[in-house]
Amino acid sequence: MPAITRVFLPLDPEQVETLTMGTPVRLYGSLYTARDAAHKRLIQALRNGEDLPLSLKSELLYYVGPCPAQPGRVIGSAGPTTSGRVDSYTPQLLAEGLKGMMGKGNRAPEVVESIKKHKAVYFAALGGAGATLAAKIKKAEVIAYPDLGPEAVYRLEVEDFPAVVAIDAFGNNLYQEGRRKYAKR
């Protein structure tokens, strides 16, 4: 198994190109959340020629709709959602400077091509571990679309947040590679 790589956020484009499929990582710094409804609004703002409520340059979007925080906690359960839900929006956000995404599940072929074109990275977070992942979030604040509730855009400060490089900047895809290895058996 490859050694764990520390990744500091926002993403350094040079480091993104060194991350290889299958590498376990730990994330440190600020990232943003966005699910389906937030993606729809971001794309609509771009289509309308409006400024986005955040700069996407070198940023990481985590596909999560966190649960409300219990008393004394920063955030509630914060496990990833299925990334395919936002595939139709992703190429345009990558063209705006987005460098990373994190969720669960494979991505559409056009998203993989866009990842390669823009030298971005897709991280997979462990589904079903929302409470454990929430413990790695040190601060959470809504920065856009508060009317969307858990689907609002949050800025999260994370420390030692675990993920794995699922699709690297060259299009190497852990989901496809895993299937190939299994099929050979």
Enumerate the active-site residues.
Answer: 39
d(CA 78, CA 166): 19
Helix (H), strand (E) at residue 178: helix 174-184
Cα angle 8-13-18, degrees, rounded to a multiple of 5: 80
E runs forming strands in the chain:
5-8, 24-33, 60-62, 100-103, 121-124, 137-144, 153-167
